[in-house]
Amino acid sequence: FLSDGVVGMKTALARTYPKAHFQRCLVHVMRNICAKVRVDDREKIMNEFKQVHQQTNKEEATAVLHDFYTKWGKVYSHVIRSLKDIEPDLLVFYNYPKQIRASIYSTNMIESFNNVIKRKAKPKAEFPTEQSLDVFIGIQAMSYNDRYFNRIHKGFGQVQDTLESYFD
């Protein structure tokens, strides 16, 4: 599962799907870091933090992350403390083939679908009932699925056999 920092999401998922992996969206993590550091430091900090998801393997990424902690820990202890709290959820995507890592460390695909929903719902001032909203969203989801049903997201076709073996 991939999620932003919604409180309780990881706990609920662990209860329902105890064997599932949980990855924090690195884009949301970066936005949170940006919001908590001085404007003058943002570009430098972001360029350094981006190195975490550009490594060859999890060990290298962990080393880069820990170097990041060391470098910025004194100036931004609250940011580093927050990152350490969620560290187990930051590098889960390295457990998967490199061809799909860029797709699974960010909620961009999900947010893209949410933007479609927002764009199509905007002309409607309001929905008369909650059920009408549910029907509207359901129709949008089915339409989206129909449009992209035969599309294989970048990298997934190359590693289909590997991914299927995870579920044997």
Identify the residue with better confidence: 6 or 153: 6
Contact 136, 143 (CB under 8 A): no
Picking from 44-53, 61-70, 96-105, 108-117, which range would have the lowest pLDDT averaged per residue?
Answer: 108-117
What separation in angstroms does the CA of 46 have from each of 2, 20, 39, 142? Answer: 21, 29, 11, 37
Chain segment 79-114, per-residue pLDDT in tens = 999 999 999 999 999 999 988 888 888 777 777 788
- Place 156 in a pLDDT band, splitting at 50, 70 and 90: confident
Q: Are 22 and 41 in contact (CB under 8 A)?
A: no
The proportion of the chain whose per-residue pLDDT surpasses 90, expressed as a percent, equals 51
Q: Is the pLDDT of residue 124 over 80?
A: no
Quote the radius of gyration of the chain (alpha carbons, Å).
19
Can you give the pLDDT at residue 72?
97
- Report the Cα 44 to chain-centroid distance in Å: 22
Q: What pLDDT, on the 0 to 100 scale, is given for residue 68?
A: 97
Q: How confident is the model at residue 165 (pLDDT cuts 50, 70, 90)?
A: confident
